[in-house]
Amino acid sequence: MLNERKLAVLRAVVEDFVNTNEPVGSRALADRHPLGVSPATIRNDMVALEEDGYIAQPHTSAGRVPTDKGYRLFVDRLSSVKPLSVAERRAIESFLGNTVDLDEIVARTVRLLAQLTRQVAIVQYPSLTRSSVQHVELVPLGNQRIMMVVITDTGRVEQRVIDGLEAVSERAVNDLRAMLNRAIAGCYLGDVPDAVDDLPAQVPPEHRGIAVSVLSVLLESLVESHEEKIVLAGTANLAAVDFAASFKDVLEALEENMVLIRLLGEAKDPSMLTVSIGEENFHEGLRSTSVVSADYGVGNQSLAKIGVVGPTRMDYPGTMGAVRAVARYVGQILAGQ
């Protein structure tokens, strides 16, 4: 049913439509692509492709436009990830080199990705659950409050104030800090609950109340940090596109943190590129967009995801190349830290 040539036609339709943003007709195809057949033949193939739902006509006497299903086939079987140009690689290096701060790495990454793809870029902060505790710091604030700072090996810092304690002695805080660090330094965050399980028992009774408060805040902060931090850039690029849906809907969707998290979270296969096209997206407002996402991490351990949101009519090979390259570079930089 779908011989080589029909696939070639589909590929050509996708490529031309992405370039021109206009329905592509049989003659234009025959002209611009070396298919070696006449427009009439192409027309016949198009009828077949249309019957199978890969392309569609906006109206009777117009050219064809790829459907979501058509893009899907294109991405899965007809295209390959396009490696970046030398200039682009150099841009990445100079953009991400010399960064100190995790915040800065993330901020630059997202801007870089938006610029490379000319679309909206999303970057998720490295997950806490996969990273390990470097150090826990307890700082007395005044007399009845303690600030807890958890520092992880990926450079991320979580702080939290513990409130409403009875008076705390400097000494007690020091002891507790030492004990905490002995228990969980080097520990994966996911393992922290187990690791601190029997701590209260080791604390002298007069300080047990404080210890319990601190631990409960610690555990709580680990749970909460599950709602990950996410950064956006390049929303202005949306203006260049004319969406089927009002793009107010798109902007609204992109402002919802939960939506973004789920959007990236749908990537199934870690260490691979994931593409979600049009109707495949779970969110109403994003039905006319596609999402290209990838994992990044250190070694073969995935820490979080990055991605790009654009119109379904996007340059998939190029976007996929950019996303993959940036993901790799970020991983390298985090590893080097």
Partner DNA sequence: AATTAGCACTGTGGACCATGGAGTGCCAGG
Partner DNA sequence: CCTGGCACTCCATGGTCCACAGTGCTAATT
Tokens of 299: 């070694």
What whole-number distance in Å separates Cα of residue 171 and Cα of residue 175? 6
Rule CB under 8 A: say whether 262 interacts with its own copies. no
* Sole window of 203-211, 251-259, 260-268, 324-332 interacting with its own copies (rule: CB under 8 A): 251-259
CA 56 to chain centre: 31
* Interactions with DNA, residue window 54-73 (CB under 7 A): 57, 59-64
Give the H or E element holding residue 321.
Answer: helix 316-336
What whole-number distance in Å separates Cα of residue 8 and Cα of residue 50? 14
Binding at 301: pick from DNA, its own copies, none (beta carbon under 5-8 Å per type): none
Q: What is residue 273's three-state secondary structure?
A: coil
Listed in sequence order, the residues at least 6 apart from 307 whose beta carbon sits closer than 8 Å to its beta carbon are: 121, 122, 263, 264, 267, 291, 292, 293, 294, 323
Tokens of 48: 């077949």
Interface pick for DNA out of 2, 7, 32, 50 (rule CB under 7 A): 50
In the complex with its own copies, which residue's Cβ is closer, 103 or 279?
Answer: 103
* Sole window of 36-44, 87-95, 123-131, 170-178 interacting with DNA (rule: CB under 7 A): 36-44
Tokens of 186: 């080097």
Interface pick for its own copies out of 1, 87, 100, 201 (rule CB under 8 A): 100
* Interactions with its own copies, residue window 121-180 (CB under 8 A): 134-135, 137, 139, 141, 147, 149, 151, 155, 157, 159-161
Binding at 57: pick from its own copies, DNA, none (beta carbon under 5-8 Å per type): DNA
* Torsion angle of C-alpha atoms 295, 300, 303, 307, degrees rounded to 10: -10
Per-residue x/- track, 185-224, its own copies (CB under 8 A): ----------------------------------------
Q: Which parts of this chain interact with its own copies (CB under 8 A)?
A: 100-101, 134-135, 137, 139, 141, 147, 149, 151, 155, 157, 159-161, 233-236, 238-240, 246-248, 251-252, 255
